């Protein structure tokens, strides 16, 4: 809801007088979060998006606002990402303790298979425990002593005004984030030119370019909630540097590629080819 209200505010700033109605839709991801069911048990990305996409296709809503990392790598026919607003920090944060200060066998809460794989690579002694729920409930569990630290996205904490809870921002050079982390995706119908005209004013070229590269890698390797996969693209002048990781059989493999901003999707595919080879 924070993200939706933020996007509505940007649209009103860009188009004074624009009439915006916000519709709240509960998704299967919301239900699993409330039930404390691990997301990885579902196998596919997109469980926070399906019901919103159905409303889009039915014409009940004109746009849907998502966390980019929650979107499946292939969108339903007739839908596309119409805009990517300026991106927040894309990295991960520890709350409660720094990684080096955690004692042997400390309990770290995270529901992400990617984060588990990266922690296990650097600190195999840690107890990596399931941690589900919204940000407030995860922080409450930490404060109650259920964990010694928890891992959350920097973007989510900052957006909710909780950046002061961050103990350490993990270096994205080794703790490579989820593809699209920190970015918002505004989904629309591919044939809705009126909506595209409105969204164009809040699209950010840098955020759009980096997330296209990351999502192309995700699509090329067929990423799902069960796959420990990361992708982090950054702009260096007019060039894109894409760093990726994939954990398999207890080994974490990394690769990096670089190319022009107009090659974003090709870079993602090239990085995937490195792993396929």
**Residues 59, 25, 23, 163: is their CA dihedral positive or negative?**
negative
Please list, residue by residue across 195-231, b when 16 or more beta carbons sit within 10 angstroms of its beta carbon and e when fewer do. bbebbeebbbeebbbbbbbbbbbbbbbebbbebbbbb
Contact status, residue 85 vs residue 7, Cβ threshold 8 Å: yes
Both tokens of residue 66?
A: 């998502």
Q: Would residue 70 show up in a list of annotated catalytic residues for this protein?
A: yes
CA distance 265 to 48: 24
Catalytic residue among 62, 70, 92, 178: 70
SS3 248: strand
CA distance 219 to 68: 14
CB atoms within 10 A of CB 54: 15
Contact status, residue 213 vs residue 270, Cβ threshold 8 Å: no
CA distance 23 to 18: 16
Active-site annotation, residues: 70
């Amino acid at each position: 809801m924070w993200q939706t209200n933020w996007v509505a505010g940007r649209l009103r700033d860009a188009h004074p007088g624009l009439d915006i109605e916000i519709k709240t839709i509960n998704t299967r991801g919301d239900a699993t979060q409330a039930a404390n069911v691990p997301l990885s048990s579902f196998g596919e990305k997109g469980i926070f998006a399906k019901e919103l996409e159905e409303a889009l296709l039915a014409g009940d809503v004109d746009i849907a606002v998502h966390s980019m990392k929650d979107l499946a790598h292939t969108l339903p026919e007739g839908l596309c990402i119409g805009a990517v607003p300026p991106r927040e920090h894309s990295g991960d944060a520890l709350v409660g303790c720094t990684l080096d200060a955690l004692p042997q066998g400390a309990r770290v809460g995270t529901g992400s298979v990617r984060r588990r794989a990266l922690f296990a690579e650097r600190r195999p002694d840690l107890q990596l425990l399931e941690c589900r729920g919204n940000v407030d409930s995860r922080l409450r569990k930490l404060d109650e002593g259920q964990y010694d630290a928890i891992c959350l996205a920097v973007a989510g904490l900052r957006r909710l005004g909780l950046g002061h809870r961050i103990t350490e921002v993990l270096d994205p050079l080794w703790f490579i984030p989820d593809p699209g982390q920190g970015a918002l995706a505004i989904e629309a119908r591919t044939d809705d030119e009126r909506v595209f005209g409105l969204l164009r004013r809040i699209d950010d070229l840098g955020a759009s370019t980096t997330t296209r590269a990351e999502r192309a890698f995700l699509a090329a390797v067929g990423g799902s909630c069960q796959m420990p996969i990361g992708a982090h693209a950054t702009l260096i002048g007019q060039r894109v540097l894409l760093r990726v990781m994939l954990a398999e059989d207890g080994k974490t493999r990394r690769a990096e590629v670089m190319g022009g901003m107009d090659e974003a999707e090709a870079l993602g595919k090239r990085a995937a080819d490195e792993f396929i080879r």
